[in-house]
């Protein structure tokens, strides 16, 4: 009798051990699979700052509109920030700049700042460009393309819309129409203003 | 229920066992029928046991060889389909792939793009397929490897006669003299068989380790797959590119602004410059344009030791300097900078001179140099003249009659100059570009290009791959496994004495012919009979 009991007991523990063994191996293997898939989907945009990310802080000198100061992104916490990467030679950039200028005063009132990070290799064309379109928002000069590298910018224009907590709400690759621009700017107007 | 009791020795075997673990009696009740299937030595495969829970069901799915082969077949077909149209990396850089595939190849191109074939190795479903193959390999190795290992480690020496009779190679010798028996055993030993004995029953075995070949090979594959997984870890793998101009310092992409590279000088040599190239003269005469012979970048690598926020002036500390030549990269912490491409002769400075428009001698009144890397707005001179650089287009093109720049770099610069002087009322404007000099009206003064300097741009490939050693180890172990399984065979000979007969049965996992040749040598100079192939006898 006890022998049979013993055998049953043995079988039971064997079964349980097998279950634990198989479960743990499967968990490890599927964990690796999940890691591979998830990191693959994010690897493409490895260095790229995406929607939902905290916008990396940076500090750049202003040129053209105000030659005297530097601007640090984190100093604008509490405001919405439209961060636009552009160059004077880029047609779609040139097309959207007047829209930005048109909407700038209105949204500055509402607590949204526009920063245009320029990627030209020299400053003179930027000055000419700013004079031509009478731009008044800050133009930041990314001389060593460090901010470009940090944000992983490939095509220009690329525009980030950052809320008052420094979180990226939207990322737009390519040019913007005035309606779209207005829609995105509305999204980053700080609460309570 | 799920045990099998051997009718001869009473040993209790697990369900699924085909040959009694203890006495080797076949358990399929087919006493003298077909040859035994010797796969896994007749032990129960773990997954073939009863399965109730979901875990068991998943386990059994992956431990099926059929499933593994199917997964591999699907992956092969997918890989083949991926070669129908070019992968994304080979289509033009400036097109949107979503549009391009449909444009070029119609509806099939669109389907190709939609299913992710345009970036096959990066598509999630392909990755999952490969990962499932990995899981399958892992589980199948455990599921089959462990029982096989145990079965061979604890194999019975004394086997039931039915077991011997149902082997492929079998022979019955009658009246074997003791002399022949010892000679045979001696020969076995000479051929490096390990001999174990139990009550006159003998087992001679060699090359068992070759049975582990597939498992070693699988282990290597798994390590290899893990290595490929690490490619997705940013600090393990970088593949990027940077253009750097002579005299300029650029941030190296993929290093989080930690490293910078300065192009001190780009050196470019062509064939035909030195006397030793005279032998190529005939060939060179047939070509139009120079043939590059050697190019390199003299570079200095800096580390940014500043901890300030991104974009503030970096604090650069020199790490190393030297040449970057094709196949001779500059390396830092596993990161390699490889000479990839170049752009020659980009304008760096341009020198202009001002002279009276009616002066045939074109005697310079003033001369000034515009630095195209940092052009100044005004050039003033002691003699009262001032030149204003009003507009500057690095790569100028006419666009609806308006000049504009199509790029960021001075490949074809265009200028609008305002000349002011003591005898000029307002100012005189003129537009200058390569091969163009357009005055705005009836100008008294004329500007002309006097001189220029150029510089080269070097394209460097930034590569880092710490996964290579893992891939190497995996591939090496894989090869060991292959060799182990390919060049050795697992051979076993059972010798079963009975009354006045001596039964001999043999089994090998491959190369049966080679085995018969060996057996012939071993019964040489004895009266033992040659083993018979029962499989061919069966067919007859």
Secondary structure of B71-120 in HEC code, one letter for each residue: HHHHHHHHHHHCCCCCCHHHCCCCCCHHHHHHHHHHHHHHHHHHCCHHHH
Q: For residues B515 and B522, give the distance between their C-alpha atoms in angstroms, rounded to a whole number.
A: 11
Confidence at residue B49, expressed as pLDDT on a 0 to 100 scale: 59
| Tens digits of residue pLDDT in A137-193 | 999 999 889 999 999 888 889 999 999 999 999 999 889 999 999 999 999 999 876
The distance from CA B343 to its chain's CA centroid, rounded to whole angstroms, is 30
Q: Which of B502, B428, B473 is nearest to B179 (CA)?
A: B502
Using DSSP, state whether B134 is helix, strand or coil.
helix
Confidence band (pLDDT; 50, 70, 90) for B500? Answer: confident
Mean pLDDT of chain A: 89
pLDDT value at position B32? 59
Question: Which range has the top average pLDDT, B92-96, B105-109, B277-281?
Answer: B105-109
- From residue A9, alpha-carbon distances to A6, B69, B508 in Å are 5, 38, 39
Structure confidence at residue B238 (pLDDT)? 87
Pairwise CA distance, residues B22 & B533, whole Å: 26
In this prediction, residue B30 carries a pLDDT of 65
Write down the pLDDT at residue B423. 84
Residue of A nearest to B228 (CA): A36
pLDDT at B181 exceeding the cut of 80: yes
β-sheet with B532-533: strand ranges across: B194-198, B201-206, B491-498, B501-508, B169-174, B532-533
Alpha-carbon separation of residue B375 from A33, B83, B351, B388, B389 (angstroms): 55, 50, 12, 11, 8
User: pLDDT class for B21, splitting at 50, 70, 90?
Assistant: confident
pLDDT tens string B112-124? 999 989 988 888 8
The phi-psi region of residue A70 (left if phi > 0; otherwise alpha if psi is between -120 and 50; otherwise beta) is beta
Q: Is the pLDDT of residue B67 over 90?
A: yes
Q: Residue A1's pLDDT is what?
A: 57
Q: Predicted confidence band at B1 (pLDDT cuts at 50, 70, 90)?
A: very low
Q: Do B250 and A145 touch (CB under 8 A)?
A: yes
Token pair for B223 = 């390590």
Please tell me which of the candidates B127, B312, B389 has its beta carbon nearest to residue A36.
B127
| In the predicted structure, residue B509 carries a pLDDT above the cut 70 | yes
Confidence of residue B33 (pLDDT cuts 50, 70, 90): low
Q: Sign of the CA dihedral B199, B204, B209, B212? A: negative
User: Is residue B194 scored above 60 in pLDDT?
Assistant: yes
Exposure pattern of A66-90 as b/e (b: 16+ CB <10 Å)? Answer: eeeeebebeebeebbbbbbbbbbbb
Low-confidence residues of chain A: pLDDT under 50: none
Q: Are B21 and B151 in contact (CB under 8 A)?
A: yes
Whether the predicted pLDDT of B366 surpasses 50: yes
In this complex, do B394 and A29 lie within 8 Å of one another by their Cβ atoms?
no
Contacts of residue B389 in chain A, CB cutoff 8 Å?
124
Question: Strand pairing partners for B332?
Answer: B335
- Token reading at B18: 């085909």
Residue of B92, B142, B311, B397 to mutate when probing chain A, most A C-beta within 10 A: B311
Residue, of A13 and B454, whose pLDDT is higher: B454
Is A147 close to B312, i.e. CB distance below 8 A? no
* DSSP for residue B37: -
Distance (Å, rounded) from C-alpha B202 to C-alpha B493?
A: 8
């Amino acid at each position: 009798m006890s022998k049979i009991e013993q055998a049953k007991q043995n079988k039971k523990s064997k079964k349980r051990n097998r279950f634990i063994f198989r479960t743990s191996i499967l968990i490890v293997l599927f964990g690796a699979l999940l890691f591979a898939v998830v990191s693959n989907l994010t690897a493409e945009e490895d260095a790229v700052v995406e929607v939902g990310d905290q916008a990396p802080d940076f500090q750049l000198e202003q040129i053209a509109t105000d030659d005297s100061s530097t601007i640090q992104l984190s100093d604008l916490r509490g405001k919405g920030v439209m961060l636009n990467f552009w160059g004077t030679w880029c047609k779609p950039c040139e097309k959207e700049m007047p829209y930005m200028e048109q909407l700038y005063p209105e949204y500055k009132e509402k607590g949204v700042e526009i920063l245009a990070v320029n990627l030209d290799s020299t400053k003179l064309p930027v000055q000419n460009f700013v004079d031509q379109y009478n731009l008044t928002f800050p133009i930041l000069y990314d001389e060593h393309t460090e901010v470009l590298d940090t944000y992983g910018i490939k095509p220009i224009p690329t525009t980030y819309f950052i809320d008052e907590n420094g979180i990226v709400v939207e990322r737009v690759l390519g040019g913007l129409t005035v309606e779209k621009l207005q829609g995105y700017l509305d999204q980053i107007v700080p609460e309570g203003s | 229920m799920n045990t099998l009791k051997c009718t001869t020795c009473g040993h209790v075997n697990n369900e699924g066992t085909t040959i009694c673990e203890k006495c080797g009696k076949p358990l399929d009740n087919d006493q003298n029928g077909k040859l035994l299937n010797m796969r896994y030595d007749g032990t129960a495969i773990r997954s073939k046991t009863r399965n109730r829970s979901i875990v068991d069901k998943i386990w059994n799915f992956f431990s099926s060889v059929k499933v593994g082969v199917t997964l591999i077949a699907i992956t092969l077909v997918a890989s083949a389909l991926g070669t129908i149209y070019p992968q994304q990396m080979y289509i033009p850089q400036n097109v949107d792939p979503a549009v391009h595939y449909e444009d070029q190849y119609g509806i099939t191109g669109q389907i190709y793009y939609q299913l992710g074939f345009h970036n096959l190795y990066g598509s999630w479903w392909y990755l999952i397929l490969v990962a499932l193959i990995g899981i399958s390999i892992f589980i199948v190795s455990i599921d089959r490897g462990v029982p096989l290992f145990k079965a061979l480690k604890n194999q019975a020496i004394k086997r039931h006669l039915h077991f011997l009779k149902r082997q492929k190679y079998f022979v019955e010798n009658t009246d074997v003299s003791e002399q022949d028996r010892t000679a045979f055993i001696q020969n076995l030993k000479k051929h490096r068989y390990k001999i174990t004995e139990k009550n006159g029953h003998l087992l001679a075995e060699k090359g068992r380790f070759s049975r582990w070949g597939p498992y070693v090979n699988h282990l290597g594959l798994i390590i290899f797959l893990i290595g490929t997984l690490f490619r997705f870890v940013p600090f393990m793998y970088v593949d990027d590119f940077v253009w750097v101009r002579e005299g300029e310092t650029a941030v190296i992409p993929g290093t989080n602004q930690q490293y910078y590279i300065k192009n001190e000088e780009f050196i470019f040599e062509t064939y035909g410059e030195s006397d030793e190239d005279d032998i190529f003269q005939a060939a060179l005469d047939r070509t139009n344009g120079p043939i590059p012979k050697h190019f390199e970048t003299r570079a200095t690598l800096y580390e940014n030791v500043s901890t300030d926020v991104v974009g503030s002036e970096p604090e650069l500390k020199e790490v190393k300097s030297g040449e970057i030549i094709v196949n001779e990269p500059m390396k830092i912490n596993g990161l390699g900078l490889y000479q990839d491409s170049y752009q020659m002769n980009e304008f760096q400075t341009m020198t202009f001179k001002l002279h009276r428009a009616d002066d045939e001698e074109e005697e310079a009144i003033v001369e000034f140099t515009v630095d195209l890397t940092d052009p100044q707005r005004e050039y003033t001179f002691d003699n009262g003249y001032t030149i204003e650089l009003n507009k500057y287009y690095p790569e100028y093109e006419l666009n609806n009659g308006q000049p504009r720049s199509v790029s960021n770099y001075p490949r074809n610069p265009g200028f609008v100059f305002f000349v002011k002087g003591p005898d000029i009322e307002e100012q005189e404007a003129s537009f200058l570009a390569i091969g163009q000099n357009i005055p705005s009206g009836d100008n008294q003064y004329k500007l002309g290009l006097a001189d220029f300097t150029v510089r080269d741009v070097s394209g460097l490939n930034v590569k880092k791959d710490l996964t290579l050693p893992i891939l190497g180890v995996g591939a090496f172990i894989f090869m060991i496994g292959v060799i182990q399984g390919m060049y050795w065979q697992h051979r076993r000979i059972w010798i079963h004495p009975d009354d006045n007969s001596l039964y001999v049965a043999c089994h090998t996992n491959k190369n049966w012919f080679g085995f018969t040749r060996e057996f012939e040598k071993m019964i040489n100079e004895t009266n033992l009979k040659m083993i018979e192939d029962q499989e061919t006898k069966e067919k007859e």
